Amino acid sequence: MSNTTNVSIGIIGAGWVAEHAHLPSFLSMEGVSIGAVYDTELSRAAHLAEQAGARACTSLSEIDQIPLDGVLVCTPNHTHYEIAKYFLQQGIHVLCEKPMTTTAEEAVSLRRIAEVSGAVLLMGFVNRYRDDIRELRSRITSGHIGDVQVCEVIWRRKKGIPRPGSWFTQQKLSGGGVLIDLGSHMIDQMLFLTDAPEPVACLAGLHSRPVQQGGYSNWLGSVESQTVEVEDTAIGMIQFANGMLGRIHVSWQDDVEGDAVEIHLKGNRGSMILRTLFGFSNQGLYKQPSLQFSRAGEDPEWFTFPPKTDVLIEFRRQAQHFVDCIRETKQPYITAGDGERVIRLIQLLYQSAHKGLVAT
Ligand SMILES: NC(=O)c1ccc[n+]([C@@H]2O[C@H](COP(=O)([O-])OP(=O)(O)OC[C@H]3O[C@@H](n4cnc5c(N)ncnc54)[C@H](O)[C@@H]3O)[C@@H](O)[C@H]2O)c1
């Protein structure tokens, strides 16, 4: 496909992330059109299709009539496997929202299907395209802190359960709570930033409280019911085959002053701490991201990033990468294998939360 050929994209699941993050990102690109919007709810499909100048579909047989080069899968977690499989088997490229699937078995199967089909399966770990993460990764690979021996990834929200009572908080539809939701991004960061090998052991714990009232982050939408079946907080320790220790702490509702992401890395030559925030919260703890760098035994230096003015910058970069992969028939920067590794580790952490220490 040449660089000037139009790329036609289908949106599967016309919910929050499709409307507020993916659609504006794809619509801002030259030579890209939205061919179809498919949602099981006609009103949702029609609402987005109108904005996109696309056809609204409510069945797969309808969307099959429309020629598409790629699709974005942004439906509830438990549907990712069947939907991504359906399109990959037809050779249609897929950008799949996190988590890739809700079980490791499905993830292995989906990776194999993508390999056989030759179509691109780009995992939607969108935070990898952020400037602060790129800077952190670049400093690690250029040896600023030496070999990474400890990596702690933390994302804590003050009040941020996504729509309590909705599919996000129903075990069968989401595959879990905050660990599979925010944890998908954070485990991906841990593995990507450190080039971590296979895990050899892990220990995790889950915690839940009744839904806290009031002061909700505006972008999350309404409380659908007070019934939240899944954990709102998860803490886990992971030992990797090279001896590196990982720690994850994610929470949808926690006793913190504001929402924040922190990544702490300790190596044999120094350490780094990134203080930032992922996502769309309006309750951030830090005004702007900052990076603290310490050479072993010396005082720290600080590097401050400009405040983010384009909230969708990482979504635009992700959309551009997906289209480039389609046009140039190249393998994506974030692969199905990456998606599979993340869900395998999340599954181990859930097993540990129920059984105690898990050794692989
Ligand atoms: N990367 C990020 O920052 C980010 C942010 C939010 C959500 N997400 C992910 O995106 C996905 C969607 O999240 P959301 O917040 O947009 O959810 P949502 O509930 O707002 O939207 C989901 C949409 O999918 C539709 N749907 C349900 N089952 C379907 C099916 N079988 N076929 C077609 N459509 C179907 C629903 O009607 C709804 O319109 C989730 O996997 C979530 O984890 C990622």
pLDDT in tens, 239-264: 999 999 999 999 999 999 999 999 99
Judged by DSSP in three states, 353 sits in helix
* C-alpha 62 to ligand 1 mean position (Å): 20
> Do 161 and 170 contact (CB within 8 A), yes or no?
no
Tokens of 313: 């910058």
Mean pLDDT of 318-328: 97
What pLDDT score was predicted for residue 290?
97
Q: Determine the distance from the C-alpha atom of residue 356 to the mean position of all C-alpha atoms in its chain, rounded to a whole number.
A: 27
pLDDT in tens, 169-216: 999 999 999 999 999 999 999 999 999 999 999 999 999 998 887 666
Judged by DSSP in three states, 113 sits in helix
Give the chain's mean pLDDT: 95
Whole-angstrom distance between the N-terminal and C-terminal Cα of the chain? 44
Rg (C-alpha) for the chain, rounded Å, is 20
* C-alpha 86 to ligand 1 mean position (Å): 17
Ligand 1 contacts (CB < 6 A) are: 12-18, 38-41, 44, 74-77, 79, 97-98, 124, 126, 279
pTM for this predicted structure: 0.97
What pLDDT score was predicted for residue 307?
87
Judged by DSSP in three states, 164 sits in coil
Q: Determine the distance from the C-alpha atom of residue 346 to the mean position of all C-alpha atoms in its chain, rounded to a whole number.
A: 13
Tokens of 45: 């499909």
Cα–Cα nearest to 79, from 15, 27, 125: 15
Ligand 1: atom nearest CA of 82 is 31
Within a 13 Å sphere around the CA of 72, how many CA atoms are in the beta-carbon half?
A: 31
Report percent pLDDT > 70 for the chain: 97
With a cut of 90, say whether residue 22 has pLDDT above it. yes
For ligand 1, atom 30: residue with the closest CA: 40
Cα–Cα nearest to 78, from 165, 157, 169: 169
With a cut of 70, say whether residue 220 has pLDDT above it. no
| Distance in angstroms (rounded) separating the CA atoms of residues 226 and 164 | 6
Ligand 1: atom nearest CA of 80 is 41
